[in-house]
Amino acid sequence: MVAGPNVWVSRDNAEVVQVEAVIAVDPTDPGRMVIAAIGLRRPHASDWQDHQTILIYHSEDGGASWVNRTVTALPEAWTAGDPWLAWLPEEGLLLSAIAGEALTRRGDPPARARLFFSPDGGQTWDDRDRTPFLPGSSEDHPVLAVGRDRTGGTKVFSVATHATMQYEGVDAALVQIPSLEAEPVPSFRPIREQVNLGGAVVLPGGDLVISYYSMRPPRSLWSSRRDSMTETWSETRIRDSILPVGFPALALDMSTGPHAGRIYSVWVEAADLAGHRVLLAWSDDGGGSWSSPTRVNADRNRVSRTLPAVAVAPGGAVAVVWQDQRNAGGRACTDLYGTVSENGGATFLPEVRVSSVTACMGGEDNGAAAGRFRLGGGDYQSVTATGRGTFQVAWSDSRTGRFQLWTARLAVR
């Protein structure tokens, strides 16, 4: 395992606090990459969440250099958060985010999950305002999932937690290609309590699989599958009686290798009050059943580990990255670590330190973000495959004194 040099993505925007990095790579050209993140325009204000925006960075040289772009469909006066990216095979780049006049108070238009589209890989954006879900609710942590249906056409789902006065659950909307109009599908409302949505994948044939935490004790990790023919949901418990940390993650093996079609679920679990472990389980039947968990991190230090992310390369290699406090010395500091499995998650190569600097989060320049994102640079970070056994990681850390965006290559030597 080897980690490449850390590249400072947001060097030309260093005065803005930036968190929650997500990365997408052009499926036809792995040298074209886009990173989206939250930019905190007033991190010291009491209503700092109402002064956020979405920042876009574009690379044409495999992540060596980056250009700051603007989501022109996002009005400057709006606030926005929770970005997620999906590169559609023929159409372009899709961005989902929570956006509106305010996140912490009722605005007009209200903060909702919205979709933004770029036909040229994040360089320019159309000016249409798309809201995939029906009115009358609020959404959180929207994610995108792209795959193929039974006819070979592109299938895109927007999935988000969905809250009303009566319930909180998970809803999905089918994004029509090529019009990009969204059509709500029958809602999946698993429980009348808080849920933390993880990832979403589209299986060959068009079925949707999601993962999420049920936050009511005993807290559990679940997967749910939506059958594209019957439009019905089925759910399976992956792990019970856990103390979850952050969001779980999900990835699908789309290779032609021995584990093609395998779904990987990754999460961080509190082993005891003093330490966390990164765990992985897999399903070979579309989420109907799951393996016993495999421990990903070999290091046995009893420290905090957070923000897991997972991706599968075209050859079937599985990469997992996470934030780790083994070098913190008792301070609120983290490093990014990562590892790869070449045998379907059964074992992992020795983990490597991806970040070149141990970053501490309590800098004065971070303002409210220092406390809100104490798990790391946001509530999630991102890894994506760029080739057989090669991956690109995007994260935020505070080595400069404020949260900034970084990227690095992770590869099997």
Please answer whether residues 195 and 161 qualify as being in contact, where contact means their C-beta atoms are separated by less than 8 angstroms: yes
Q: Given a cut of 80, is residue 390 above it in pLDDT? A: yes
Distance, in Å, from the CA atom of 353 to the CA atom of 356, rounded to the nearest integer, reads 7
Beta bridge partners of 277: 269
Q: Given a cut of 90, is residue 218 above it in pLDDT? A: no
Q: In total, how many domains does the chain have?
A: 1
Q: Given a cut of 80, is residue 151 above it in pLDDT? A: yes
Residue 10: per-residue pLDDT: 95
Confidence category of residue 108, pLDDT binned at 50, 70, 90: low
Residue 165: per-residue pLDDT: 60
Q: Given a cut of 90, is residue 145 above it in pLDDT? A: yes
Mean of the pLDDT values across residues 393-399? Answer: 96
Structural domain containing residue 29: 2-411
Grouping H, G, I as helix, E, B as strand and the rest as coil, residue 207 is coil
Mean pLDDT is lowest, of 12-16, 172-176, 189-193, 369-373, for: 189-193
Distance, in Å, from the CA atom of 150 to the CA atom of 169, rounded to the nearest integer, reads 28
Other C-beta atoms closer than 10 Å to the C-beta of 125 total 21
Please answer whether residues 355 and 397 qualify as being in contact, where contact means their C-beta atoms are separated by less than 8 angstroms: yes
Distance, in Å, from the CA atom of 371 to the CA atom of 361, rounded to the nearest integer, reads 8
Confidence category of residue 226, pLDDT binned at 50, 70, 90: very high
Confidence category of residue 265, pLDDT binned at 50, 70, 90: very high
For the chain, percent of residues with pLDDT exceeding 90: 66
Distance, in Å, from the CA atom of 139 to the CA atom of 170, rounded to the nearest integer, reads 9
Mean of the pLDDT values across residues 330-349? Answer: 95
Q: Given a cut of 90, is residue 96 above it in pLDDT? A: yes
Q: Given a cut of 70, is residue 182 above it in pLDDT? A: yes
Closest CA to 192 of 222, 234, 162, 235: 162
User: Which amino acid type is present at position 138?
Assistant: S
Residue 190: per-residue pLDDT: 53
Please answer whether residues 32 and 384 qualify as being in contact, where contact means their C-beta atoms are separated by less than 8 angstroms: no
Confidence category of residue 144, pLDDT binned at 50, 70, 90: very high
Distance, in Å, from the CA atom of 45 to the CA atom of 63, rounded to the nearest integer, reads 33
Mean of the pLDDT values across residues 212-241? Answer: 89
- Higher-confidence residue: 223 or 168? 223
CATH number, domain with residue 357 = 2.120.10.10
Confidence category of residue 5, pLDDT binned at 50, 70, 90: very high
Contacts of the segment 327-332: beta carbons below 8 A, 24+ positions apart: 327/358, 328/303, 328/358, 328/360, 331/360, 332/360, 332/361, 332/362, 332/374
Please answer whether residues 405 and 37 qualify as being in contact, where contact means their C-beta atoms are separated by less than 8 angstroms: yes
Residue 354: per-residue pLDDT: 98
Q: Which residues, 6+ apart, have CB-to-CB distance to 305 below 8 Å?
A: 245, 268, 275, 276, 277, 278, 297, 322, 323, 324, 325
- Higher-confidence residue: 106 or 374? 374
Confidence category of residue 224, pLDDT binned at 50, 70, 90: very high
Closest CA to 369 of 127, 71, 144, 81: 81
Distance, in Å, from the CA atom of 323 to the CA atom of 383, rounded to the nearest integer, reads 13
Q: Given a cut of 90, is residue 157 above it in pLDDT? A: yes
